[in-house]
Structure 1
């Protein structure tokens, strides 16, 4: 694995922004590298505080990472896992992020982890947010790691470019850790969602951006240039310097 401290190679970026870039030859090797990295963060949290909080994302990219992380030996019974966002679907629906986590992460050693889903059975995300807010407030913040993906439009979690709820989600002073999100347009799965806000996503000891493919890397390069977060919401992670940000790419 190649490992670079500081700015990504051949990339112009504001000098106050610092990232650590990890590259692997293929997605399978990247998944192993990322699993080892996250497991080390969880072990550190367990050693220092007796508990750890991990926030993960959905989609197809994290599946091999989940499978590798599930095999990592640590005290999973003291680890809480929750999601950066969720489609407002029953937990057995194939498009549910909770179903993805249960199928691929909460296995092997990680079967002992405590999972906190975001979907709570309310009719709509807006109706479910108040109870979900209380659930999130009870977790042990800051998280030990927040693992984010990036869509082809530059979205992360369920924060989509120029979405009507985005300005509130990005407020530094927003009291909420989550909010309801309108159904995005295809090719994203067009169902309503709930997403963590900027406040919650940055309430972590380390941010991790996990992506594969040259198209995603090119988009990441664009997002790391100065610009409006509403254009590429992944800038929530990239254009801040309060939380260490590690980028894993293959």
Structure 2
């Protein structure tokens, strides 16, 4: 049974304030306990207001490492790059932002390289923040031939290469993504979504659990920790 709690807000701004506050508190607690903090954050438009608020927080940013929860196989200066967006926001405040891809076009090789980079980081992440698409994908765990690779990778595996099927028209490229086990290893798992369509989809995925046809339902069905889901219209 998935233990998930919805937190409802009247606006995206109100949600952004709350999620940024939660992450800031977790960062402070992690640094106090272990001397550093590791965050895995998504790309896309929904989390941008969260990041803007989080970057303004008075935190010991030099002890914070940020990785993208998934990345597109594009150059880091390409506007489709998730790490590019994270770096623009968090490098100026002193955080360490780690790119997970290089100039590797082959999806599987890129996944191996990304995984090797993450093996050098202290694990698990203090926070994994997830979004969700209208097709039920989360991170870059998409429907398609590579779905089972991302879901059933060995527990030690942190990232794999995937090719969504069909390719999303807004970003028709291969990806690397955190595996299900890497996502669920997080000390805190947060989800931030907007719109009634996504809420309905996520509620159904949670209800269906292991039998869900949606990637996010398959991911969350294995969760052992409580999940906070932040939603705004």
TM range (shorter): over 0.9
TM-score normalised over the length of structure 2: 0.92
Tell me what 2:193 maps to.
211
CA shift digits 1:126-174 (9 cap, x unpaired)? 223333222101111111000000000000011112x111112111645
The answer to whether the aligner puts 1:233 opposite 2:215 as a matched pair is yes
Structure 2 unaligned spans of 5+: none
**Gaps spanning 5+ residues in structure 1: where?**
1-15
What are the Cα deviations for residues 96-131 of structure 1, in whole angstroms up to 9, with x where unaligned? Answer: 111221233444xxx211111122222333223333
> Contact between 1:42 and 1:144, CA under 8 Å: does it hold in 2?
yes
Deviations 1:69-90 (A, max 9, x none): 1011111101110011001001
Change (3 A) 1:237 1:105: farther
Match of 2:150 in 1: 169
Residue 168 of structure 2, aligned match among 186, 203, 215: 186
Q: Could you say if the C-alpha distance between residues 193 and 172 of structure 1 is closer, same or farther in structure 2, counting changes exceeding 3 Å?
A: closer
Matched position secondary structure for 1:190: coil
2:137 equivalent in structure 1: 155
CA contact (8 A) 1:63 1:104 kept: no
**2:155·2:182 contact (CA, 8 Å) conserved in 1?**
no
TM-score, normalised to structure 1's length? 0.86
Return structure 1 stretches of 4+ with deviation > 6 angstroms: none
Q: In proportion to residue count, which structure has more helix?
A: 2
CA shift at 1:17, angstroms? Answer: 2.3
Aligned length: 231
Aligned equivalent of 2:80, options 87, 95, 98: 95
For the aligned residues, what is the CA RMSD?
A: 1.8
Corresponding residue of 1:17:
2
Question: Partners of 2:13 and 2:218 in 1: how far apart?
Answer: 27
